[in-house]
Amino acid sequence: MKWILCPVCNHKTRNKIRHDTILENFPLFCPKCKQETLIRVKKSKVILMEEPDAKTQSQ
Ligand SMILES: [Zn+2]
């Protein structure tokens, strides 16, 4: 078990994952940023789905 780190500020969040945890489109709340970021977790790696202030229209 390990704590999920906020992908924005790298602060510890209140969510834990196991080495085999799989999350998809998980709204991770960071107590430091006080905002939610959408993440996915696979093989204990946290991948940021979308950045909170990203307004990209590229495709
Ligand atoms: Zn944060």
Q: Checking DSSP bridges between strand 23-30 and strand 35-42, what pairing results, if any?
A: antiparallel
pTM as predicted: 0.76
What's the full length of the chain, in residues?
A: 59
> What's the mean pLDDT when you consider all of the chain?
88
**Residue 52 has what pLDDT?**
55
Q: Is the pLDDT of residue 6 over 80?
A: yes
Please identify every residue whose CB atom is under 5 Å from ligand 1, which is an ion: 6, 8-9, 11, 30, 32-33
Asked whether 28 and 40 are in contact (CB, 8 A), the reply is: no
CA of residue 12 to ligand 1 center, whole Å = 8
